[in-house]
Structure 1
Amino acid sequence: MRSVSLGIAAVSAVCFGFSGPMAKYLNAAGLAPLESVWVRMAGAGLLLLAALALLRPAALRIPRSQWLFFGVYALVAVAGVQALYFLAIQRLPVGVTLLIEYTSPVLVVLWVRFVRRIRLPKAAYIGAVIAVAGLAVVVEVWDGLRLDALGLVLALLAAACCAGYFLMSDNLHVDPLGLVAWGMIGAAVVLLPFARPWSIEWAVFGDVVTVAGNTLPVAGAAGWLILVATVVAYIAGVTAVRRLSAAVGATVASLEVITGALIAYFLLGEALGAYQIIGGAVVLLGALLAQTATVRRAPAEAPAAREPVLNPSA
């Protein structure tokens, strides 16, 4: 049912919204951003592998023809998105980082047009221009880029990797649960030399940490990040990707911007300024317009020329 699919996508967006705030609690406890990412990926990957090995072992079988796909998925759609996002939120507010990352549907539209060479209606390009204009408002370009320049670059790279996640989620021919599980494990392996988990002060997971007057157990923040913001979020997200159209999926995915900003406000005391709120609304409007135009054009195209089906990530 369509309502069920929408509900699954909404659950994914809300769960992903906890990623940034929980990561900042781990960072406040002393973990570096890449260490937090590694704990998240390794924890979620091992949890999923154990569950699938017991309940659905067939999901873990990877056809030899899919090895390269799984490797690229782990590198770009999981490790790239998460590592760049976690690094970006060290320099930018969570809400602003998400707003920048959600220019990714525009990148998908450009990929569909210029790489897949699928003709799109003018509304798709108008939406892309509107989204970029909204991004300019978010970063307040008229005031010499008030946001941290490196943080902005990291967030834009995260958007590019997020676009890769959307594109690779199109026409999946593998079990989505197995894809998520091996993607997490692959990401943890890729990040090993950068995160250096053997140097993590594991004793801090027995402590509590206070951010903006709110105190949480470090182990609780890590557990929520792994179970809710990763396992539940990714499973719901990949499931919704296979059930929703591009326009609907992208629209529901944008809820992560709102939920992430709200959670960051209550847990971290981070508030968006007037320009970020206005610019964010323009970004989401442009992305929605571009994706809606894309999906409306799809029936007129050849059956093989299908645009990606979208849903989030952070």
Structure 2
Amino acid sequence: MRSFTQHAGSAGLLAAVASAFCFGGSGPFAKPLITAGFTPLQVAWIRLAGGALLMLPFAFRHVSALRRAPWLLLGYGLFAIAGVQTSYFAAIASIPVAVALLVEFLGPVLVLGWIRFVRRRPVTRRAAGGIGLALAGLACVVEIGAGMRFDALGLLLALAAAGCQAAYFLLSDSSAEIDPRALASYGLLIGAAVVTVLARPWEMDWAVLAGSVELAGAALPAALAAAWMVLVSTVLAYLTGIVAVRRLSPPVAGAVAFLEPVVATLLAWLLLGERLGPWQLAGGALILAGAYVAQRAAPAEAETPLVPESGSSAR
């Protein structure tokens, strides 16, 4: 029995790491498509529509979820899927991938801000310390003392992604009732439907996919970058995240998910040549530390788990 439990734990940990790697690769593979001529909305649509199509079997299998929790699925699709992805892809069009993702990971901090200033409930010193760490890290990442090094609109869009992530966290207290595969599949379907209206894919220049993009200094087919986003950064990412939560626990899987910005930073450096300076690296470490503390503290404050049962924070 102990051997089986250890094996399950090891498999779950590997799945959680794989999920963080897969999710972390979405930005580095999406940005070249934006540079090649697609808009951020169009790239988001490619990812969501492709992922929704491949996840359809899970949607058919769990159709009862529509009757059991329609508002949860709608909130997940609007905020965790459509809102996060469109804001994040729009942000990386003008700021580095790693910076956008680090800012997005302020979601747990925004949840605590909502609890304190909107619900007017006190937060513990530990939670306040996490907020302070994260805000100090944000100041370092954007080099606020040097007059904001990065594009202001890009940073605002990254904050919008963090806000959408926080909105889903606040809705996630009822997600335990829904199979994570249903949550992911219907979230992608709803998100794809919403983004379809905004992206107008029938007006896209599909010839871009027949061309090439530059990754790691080499020309690669644009269709390959799109396929990575759909197959690896969406479908495989969600499926491995589901396995992680089933084999581990949501808190442990959520903790491993903090590897995602690290993966994104490394891939953006290797594939796009985007390097962070010492201040950004130090600030990123502070943001992740503060967000982690906030994530662990918030359930005691709000009785709301900050790690959905799907094992992802809607990346």
Q: Is the 8 A contact 2:298 2:304 kept in 1?
A: no
Q: Does 1:12 align with 2:19?
A: yes
Q: Does 1:30 align with 2:31?
A: no
Q: Which residue of 1 aligns with 2:313?
A: 312
Alignment length (residue pairs): 303
Cα gap change, 1:309/1:112 in structure 2, threshold over 3 Å: closer, same or farther? farther
Cα gap change, 1:233/1:6 in structure 2, threshold over 3 Å: closer, same or farther? same
User: Structure 1 stretch 29-38 or stretch 161-170: which is displaced more?
Assistant: 161-170
Name the CA distance, whole Å, in 2 between partners of 1:115 and 1:238.
32
Query: Alpha-carbon deviations, 1:251-289, whole Å to 9, x = none?
Result: 312111110011111111111111100111111121222
Deviation at 1:10, TM superposition (A): 1.8
Q: Is the 8 A contact 1:131 1:282 kept in 2?
A: yes
Deviation at 1:197, TM superposition (A): 0.2
Deviation at 1:119, TM superposition (A): 5.8
Q: Which residue of 2 aligns with 1:282?
A: 286
Q: Secondary structure at the match of 2:55?
A: helix
Cα gap change, 1:290/1:103 in structure 2, threshold over 3 Å: closer, same or farther? same
Note the residue ranges of structure 1 that are not aligned, 5 or more in a row. Answer: none
Note the residue ranges of structure 2 that are not aligned, 5 or more in a row. Answer: 1-7
Deviation at 1:60, TM superposition (A): 3.1
Q: Which residue of 1 aligns with 2:135?
A: 132
How high is the sequence identity, in percent, across the aligned residues?
47
How do residues 235-274 of structure 1 correspond to structure 2 at under 5 angstroms?
235-238=239-242, 240=244, 243-246=248-251, 248-274=252-278
Name the CA distance, whole Å, in 1 between partners of 2:15 and 2:119.
29
Specify which of 92, 97, 107 is matched with residue 104 of structure 1. Answer: 107
Q: Is the 8 A contact 2:40 2:86 kept in 1?
A: yes
Q: Is the 8 A contact 1:33 1:87 kept in 2?
A: yes
Query: Alpha-carbon deviations, 1:90-129, whole Å to 9, x = none?
Result: 1100011111111112123334556677764311111111
Q: Is the 8 A contact 1:214 1:267 kept in 2?
A: no
Deviation at 1:7, TM superposition (A): 2.8
Name the CA distance, whole Å, in 1 between partners of 2:250 and 2:68.
27
TM-score (norm 1): 0.87
Cα gap change, 1:214/1:166 in structure 2, threshold over 3 Å: closer, same or farther? farther
User: Structure 1 stretch 178-187 or stretch 95-104: which is displaced more?
Assistant: 178-187
Q: Secondary structure at the match of 1:216?
A: strand
Q: Is the 8 A contact 1:250 1:288 kept in 2?
A: no
Cα gap change, 1:111/1:232 in structure 2, threshold over 3 Å: closer, same or farther? farther
Name the CA distance, whole Å, in 2 between partners of 1:168 and 1:240.
21
Q: Is the 8 A contact 1:44 1:226 kept in 2?
A: yes
Q: Secondary structure at the match of 1:308?
A: coil
Deviation at 1:309, TM superposition (A): 2.3
Specify which of 174, 177, 185 is matched with residue 178 of structure 2. Answer: 174
Cα gap change, 1:146/1:125 in structure 2, threshold over 3 Å: closer, same or farther? same
